[in-house]
Amino acid sequence: MVVGGSSKLLKALNEAAALGFLLDRGRLTRAELKQLTGLSKPTVSEAVRRLTEAGLVVVAGEETGRPGPNAEVYAVDADAAYAVAISVRDTAGSGAPSVTAALHDLRGERRGRIARPVDFTRTDPVAAVGETIDALCAAADVGRGPVAHVHLAVAGAFDPRDRVIHHVDVPGWSRPGLVDDLARAAGAPVEIDNDVNLAARAERAHGAARGAGAFALLWLGAGGLGLAIDLGDGRLLRGARGGAGEVGYIPMGTGDFHALVGPEAVAALAAEHGAGSAAYLGALAERITPGLAAVVAILDPPLVVLGGETGRAGGAPLAEAVAKAMARAAPLETAVVASTVDDDAPLLGAADAAVLAVRETLLRSTRAPSDR
C-alpha cells in the first residue's frame, strides 16, 4: 500500500510539474518539458499522456526544421476550464451598465465580454449574477459547465470573518449569506474583492506600476474614492476587516475627503473652471493634496498612481499638478503618475485573479493522486 501510494503521488507530482510549465510557457515539446522539469524522457511522456487523457493538454502542432522526426508541440487545452470576472457598480438611474463581465479561458485569453444595466432595487444579486454568467457563456458560445471560478469586483469591503460585504452602496449586496448563495448560483467557487484593490492588481500587471516596488493607487472614480496599498510584489494591505483604503472618510475640516474630491465635487469644479483646463486641474490638485499628504505621511510609498475616471481623464497633466502641490505640502517626496490601464481596471484585475485561481485549482487537483 505504501509503495503504491507513493507511486501514485509521484506520478501526480510529475503531471503537476509538466502542467505548470505548460501554463507558464504556453507551447512546449516533450524535449523542452524534459529540460525544464528535470524528469526522464519516459516520465515526461507518461505525464503528458495522462494530462492529455484528462483533457487538460492537447497537441498544438509540430516542430519542424530539425534533424530527426518532427516533434509534437503540446499546450494546455484552453477550453478545459473558464474563469469569470464580474464588476458590480451602483449606476441606478444613469442608464449605464451596472454589471460588466468577462470570460477568460485557461490560457488567459478573453473569450467574451458583456455589459448590462441591472436595477438592484428590483433584482436580487444572486439572480443577477446567475443571469450574467448565462448571458456571458452564450455570448462566448461556450458551455457553462467548465466555469471553474468567479471573481467579483465590488465597491465595498469584504470581511472574511463573517463573509459579509460592508460599506457597499449597491442594494442587496450587504446581506449575510450572500457570498455562499452566489457560489451556489454560479456552480463554482466565488471570491469577492474590493474594486480598487483589483484595479491595483491590474495596474501592477498591465499599467503604470509594472516593475515598481510598493505603490499606492488613489482611485478617483465616478462612484467615489478609494485607496489600494500594494506592499510590493502584488501583496495588498487589506486591514483586519477588509476595509483598508477607505480614504473618503478622512476628516477634512468641516467635512471629509470625499466632500473635497468626490464625484459631485469634481463635477462642480469642472463646471466652474472648464473640464480639462489648467485652472480646473490646479484646483483639483489642491483638493487632492491634503488627503494624499496624509496617506504619504503614514505609508511613505515610493509611487502614487492616480486612477479611476477622474484620474484617467486628468492624465499626466493632473499627475504633474498633484506632484507640484505635494512637493509644497507633503513632508515626504513621492512620485505621482497617472494610470495607464486603458481598460476597465477592476474587471481586468478580477479576470487576472480568476484565471490564477482556476490554474491553482487545477494544479492542486493534479498533484493529488488519482486512479487514472
pLDDT, tens only, 162-194 = 899 988 888 999 999 999 999 999 999 999 999
Instruction: Provide CB contacts within 8 A for 217, sequence distance 6+.
Output: 196, 199, 200, 203, 209, 227, 228, 230, 304, 305, 307, 339
Is 61 buried (19+), middle (13-18) or exposed (0-12) by CB count in 10 A?
middle
CA distances from 132 to 11, 115, 123, 184 (A): 39, 9, 12, 14
* pLDDT score at 260: 94
Question: Rounded CA gap, 45 and 261, in Å?
Answer: 60
In tens, the pLDDT along 292-307 reads 999 999 999 999 999 9
- Match 469584504 to its residue by C-alpha cell: 158
Beta strands in 273-334 (DSSP E): 303-307
| Nearest to 201, CA basis, from 110, 87, 116, 125 | 87
Provide the mean pLDDT of the chain.
88
- Residue indicated by cell numbers 476587516: 241
Residues 211-244: tens digit of each pLDDT: 888 999 999 988 889 999 999 888 899 887 777 8
pLDDT of residue 52: 86
Q: Cα dihedral angle (331, 244, 102, 97), rounded to 10 degrees?
A: -90
What pLDDT is stored for residue 83 in this prediction?
96
Low-confidence ranges of the chain (pLDDT < 50): 1-5
Tell me if residue 80 falls in helix, strand or coil.
coil
Task: Report the SS3 class of residue 356.
Answer: helix
Q: What is the pLDDT of residue 59?
A: 85
